Structure 1
């Protein structure tokens, strides 16, 4: 058998700035999986963002970077590296609200990649507002709002986070909103079926979170809330899992559930993987040596897990094999015990073990036969029905 090395053109919509012969890869998740969404839209979104400064395409490219955990390597041109390339080469564009990390027409994804930036963001500038439990100036409510976007980069709406917008676990509205009360320790956990995730989140929604506050003159402002994504990799290193905050790389945009990027070959098919936020924490730190209730910017810490979406048929076969295999062990033990009574020997010797293994082999063979025949009949009937 011979082998051929096939050379194909890279996606024509984007220039390979590395000047190598290697095309940029679509998104590869934690397992060996090629995302159909990334394969279809990564290069075209990057091209429209870079060449035409198309706002929606830039947002879509940013979303793909977030779906890829804001991870990037300097040697590859994945979603985040393409985003960084465009960011670095559009220094002439204006910034938004004087934030150097927020370039016009580009979403704000990173707080830069320089060591030591995270402590500056988190513990240098207090919020210009006070929180108090007493008196006429009582202020105990943290008013979080978010700008939400769909996966294609379209702006959806501004919304408050109350009502469980960022909480996957169901609960009463009062308990859900308790998470945003100043000075409250709040914890919630639950188990959610994969089928519900697939139904409730056909495509991911992305959120840029802000804290709304009022200054001493009663003027309303919003403050960008930084994110610590524990899954972020910088040059294959999980920098945000380091104990030193000086090595962290803070980001901005988050999502809860991604059932889209795990689809292979066909965007209408069931995903092979579902990426879900399994840990979300919101931490508030008081400014030390102050009695005015000043706080530093809140920090959202988030961790994602990849859930393997198995084929229901293969799951049924595995369940049947486990149940029938256990019954085979029980049946073999009963047969061996009956044989021991017949021969009148109370001792468990080598002959007893061999007899058990013989019985177990026979019962296990029957289990495999039943499962094989049952599965074969199922698929035969299924395909016969589908022909009609």
Structure 2
């Protein structure tokens, strides 16, 4: 239970002047730190905007570019305010509670409002950061207050490399006919890969429910909430002083971030030793003979090369086991896109000519979220149109990977160290597209998995802002859980719809 409030701890007369000056100095330091860092991150926002402009193949500096810069800058300033406020809260928590005698007291209530304003501004800017998809504003779609809104409109397509097998038939006399029958290619492999992709869209590096329970365990069960009282540690037995918003925020945010960081570290070791869903998806693509193209920006995205080294994936159990055994014993080619390599994941910068052809084929797709027999009359014709468009897209992308089109060819290279650090590509794909080797599996950037730091910081701010309003950690944890569940369901629902539309996979096979 939260302790009732009471008058603040008295300050000795000889300390009043010193304390007042120190409080004014601390407020000045916070303002200065936030201002200086906000100016520094402006350069980072300019770099992000320039990179985004190139990846969108936009030459002109228009209102959309300016709006994109504003959104990037809002997100960077939010990160600055989080850094400054958490550091300030942790400073007051340790300095004030560690003193044996009253030599430093907390800022006065009207001065703490200045700090609370910073936290609320950080939360508001985080909300604006979560709507950094300019295409969403162009389409006038509902903004879900989430940075990963771009994931709901990412272009995705599964390239099926399987080709029909020929089967020789025999006559009654036992001789083989010259005519050969083609066995149809099964769609089940594509459905299976699409379903696995749908399932990992909302996978995170931490367990949100465990995160909330662990934080509440320390705050309530172990009585860490007593550290948020205005009295130095240990609290006085005579009366109960009121809470300090700065110390309360410092304790809650530090606990939340530390437990989240420990979960991330545990996940790293768990994925190395036990189970890694992201890398397993790449292996599944290779076994299924399916590649994946992901385009979060118009001319930039990710490619997962899943072409089977055995030529076919529609096979029986015996042949599949033999194929896997041959791979384990290095008796066949490697899985990489280039001969003699095993790199299967790439960042891709597409030429405008290739993207234009991609858009022309995609325009033939029509929205379809349910079975044709349950839609309006005439849907059968649209379904046949989608089938033709699907095969055209599959043939086109497969031929591009096989270097069939000289005017839309590509080459493979490594990114420079400076390109990786800055997050920008120095070479522009004018005549040929560029495939950058990517051993870090950066395609997770279009999943929840690749934005854990953003999700973790937002959950921290949400929990603390709710606690500012109600001064109840349990209620803040409950509302944070509801918020997490809501956004996860929104991401899953609309991400599933986008997957169905962009890949033409039947929604009934996705769970």
Between the two structures, name the one with larger relative contact order (CA 8 Å, sep ≥ 6).
2
**More helix by percentage:** 2
Q: TM-score, normalised by structure 1?
A: 0.21
Structure number with higher strand proportion: 1
